[in-house]
Amino acid sequence: MSKEGENVQETKEHQSKRNVIFTPKTSALLVIDLQHYFCNPQSHAYFKDAVKILPNIQKLIKSYRGQSLPIIFTRYALLRTEPPGAMGRWWNDVLYDDQPMARLIDTLQLLPKELVVRKTQYSAFFETNLDKILKKHHVTSLVITGVLTHLCCETTARDAFMRNYDVFFVTDATASDSKRFHTASLATLSDGFAILTTTREVCVWLRETM
C-alpha cells in the first residue's frame, strides 16, 4: 500500500468512531467541475488526475441513476457582466460562461432531468440555488466527487457541513493537481467535516440498502 493509501486508511479507521450513518434514500451525488477546462489536454489548466478519476465517477453516476437518486453537476464560469473579484486576482485567470472550455465534458452524458449549477466561487453553495435544490429533494447526505480536491471540493464539503448535511467525500473520485494537496485536504476534512469513503463503498451501500 502506498503512503497515501496508508494515511487514508488510518484516517478512515479513526472516523469509524463518528456517529454518522450514510442514508442512500436521502442522499445526492455532487459532481464538481468536470469541465473541459480541467479535463481537456488543450487547456492550460488540464491535469491528468482529473481524467483518471472519470471511470469511478461514471460508476457512481450509473449507481445513482439506477436508484433514481438526485445527481447535481456543477461548473465554474462567470458571465461577462460578473466581476472576476478575488478569484480573478488570485489566479490571474477567468473562465467565462461562453467559452468552450467552460462546458462539462461530453463523457458525463447528462440526462435531461439532471441539474447543472453554475458557480462563480470555489463553493457550490455560494450565491447559488444548490441548498434549495437539496432541500427540495429532502437530501440529508451529500456524496462529493470531482475537482479539485483542495479547492472547490473541499470548500463545498465544508459549506455543506455548516448547512447540516452529512458529507461523504469520495477519495478515489476526487483529484488535485498535486498529490500533496489531495492528501492534506483529505486529512483536514476527515478531522472535522467529512467521512472519507471510496467509489466501491458507496456503490455497495446503494445496492445493500435500497
The span from the CA of 49 to the CA of 129, in Å, is 29
pLDDT category of residue 175 using cuts at 50, 70 and 90? very high
Q: What pTM value is reported for the model?
A: 0.93
Q: At what angle do helices 179-192 and 3-15 cross, to 10 degrees?
A: 10
Q: Which pLDDT does position 208 carry in this prediction?
A: 80
Q: Which pLDDT does position 207 carry in this prediction?
A: 87
Domain harbouring 121, CATH code: 3.40.50.850
Q: Which domain does 143 fall in, by range?
A: 3-15+23-209
Domain count, the chain: 1
What's the pLDDT tens digit per position in 131-162? 999 999 999 999 999 999 999 999 999 999 99
Q: At what angle do helices 54-66 and 199-209 cross, to 10 degrees?
A: 10
What's the pLDDT tens digit per position in 73-114? 999 999 999 999 999 999 999 999 999 999 999 999 999 999
For residue 180, which amino acid is it?
A: R
